[in-house]
Chains A and B, each alone.
Chain A
């Protein structure tokens, strides 16, 4: 990390961006390289500028703060969440490069956040799943999956997903709109999916049971799932057990 922190401000409210920029201007060691008014802009700006720090509003149109973090390279990024109201503070991540500001915040509070970010920079960011669960314990499962390919961001509502298959370090997500690759392990993605709807039928495959057309018995103890889009996936013995439990 250099002596100067390159920072990006992300907030959908103009006055909130203005206020933050005004306060940050008092700290010569921070340089604002971009301000963004929604999540898409933020993903683009973070990818382009590779800032040290992002001031991130959580509740934003189109892409929320967590989704933005999911889609960018977080390896050298510190985050200060800027939010109006969250009972669930990020105290759990005291040793990490993450802090939060509650709107409206004072200059002193901003100074403390910057100091903390500098101090813990090497701690890196906690996992996005963990941050989401800590700040939004009521939202247990993902409503949609976001994928970035270069500068293009795709949003897939979970209801439209037919299957998710592990492919090396990626997950191949099939939906009505075709298939996309997401850089994440299947196991970590599985944790954020609604278990009433998604079932792991095989070590490397999860299906949406609403998209299951039928189960075929090919030979003794060898089952295959046939999905509504025609895809055929092998079902393991344990997977068959889980499917039967879910389907009743």
Chain B
């Protein structure tokens, strides 16, 4: 087969997915995506976060060829998703948000069907490997209608992996599955990363993004409001707080401590100090000395850092306020 030329970026390693100025306006006038640009690097796990209707599924659907874009371009491994749809779709695996499966087909046959549909010759050994990795081998001859929701989700992942894609989209992969299965799914994603597969997942479970992702993107009202390395994001936007459990109750924060970002909590039994981890000094040593000087004593302390969920909520609220 003659392959069309890829676009070549000389300056750095070519991203596996490159989206430029992508917009989508549906027939009813709803603007689902607004001028979105994004690069996904090979081998990374990228979590796309956003509330319902933010545009996550539309973005994925355009790249996979299920939705026509209104404007903009997207390239997979240097191939344009429209002009070179064969090359791009051959590289992509998609696990949709819903559970659309052929109810009366067996697990093995439906996974083999997906492999053929995406242009790969039959390979029962590879299908077996995929099914075993997803704990589906024992169910290979079962009809899909007889499987639980969690098992159906696994079948969809197996179908998406059947043609050995290099870019996998997981649209809400653990929606509605129990905790144990969710952990299993995380293990599957981790093993895909080890095999070099790039994974883009959308999720409502911030814990999931926190656990799995290398980078996080936040989308709201069709706009990509932030793309950041997860650790950097949590370090830069995460607040850290020191909680001091007081020996004696306070009515208010003493005026001598007004220079600190302090709040009283737990009916005056707890003092909460918010500080910036990026600064050279946190101010904790000085605060403790000043508390001692003011005769305020504590019998316990703990610290806490903002979760990705709190950061996400902050970002979305800020975006909506502006």
The finding on whether chains A and B are genuine partners in a shared complex, rather than unrelated, reads no
